[in-house]
């Protein structure tokens, strides 16, 4: 039985966010098993190995917005994917 890394738990939690909904970094950290690891969630999403599969654009900061440093990267990926009708933005 393989043990999941914390990043794998984060990616699994993010993939469970339904279309049209968002979750905060803190909520994802709690779902992944460490409610104090919101910054680690941001780091994991910055390193997202499958941006078209793991919907990083559904994770927002505590104010309900994409974090400014992350928004550029995520938006660029989503725009490229949307051009191929693959990425559906929920934010």
Q: Bridge-partner residues for 23, per DSSP?
A: 59
Residue 67 and residue 38 in contact, taking contact as beta carbons nearer than 8 Å: no
Which is the catalytic residue, given 56, 74, 78, 87? 56
Tell me, rounded to whole angstroms, the distance of Cα 80 from its chain centroid: 17
Q: Where are the alpha helices (DSSP H) in 1-91?
A: 6-15, 25-31, 38-46, 68-83
56 is catalytic: yes
The set of catalytic residues is 56
């Amino acid at each position: 039985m393989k043990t999941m890394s914390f990043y794998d738990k984060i990616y699994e939690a993010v993939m469970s966010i339904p279309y049209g909904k968002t979750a905060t970094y803190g909520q994802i950290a709690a779902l992944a098993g460490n409610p104090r690891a919101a910054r680690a969630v941001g780091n994991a999403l910055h390193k997202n190995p499958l941006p078209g599969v793991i919907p990083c654009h559904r994770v927002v900061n505590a104010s309900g917005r994409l974090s400014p440093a992350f928004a550029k990267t995520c938006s660029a990926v989503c725009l490229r994917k949307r051009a191929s009708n693959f990425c559906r933005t929920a934010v």
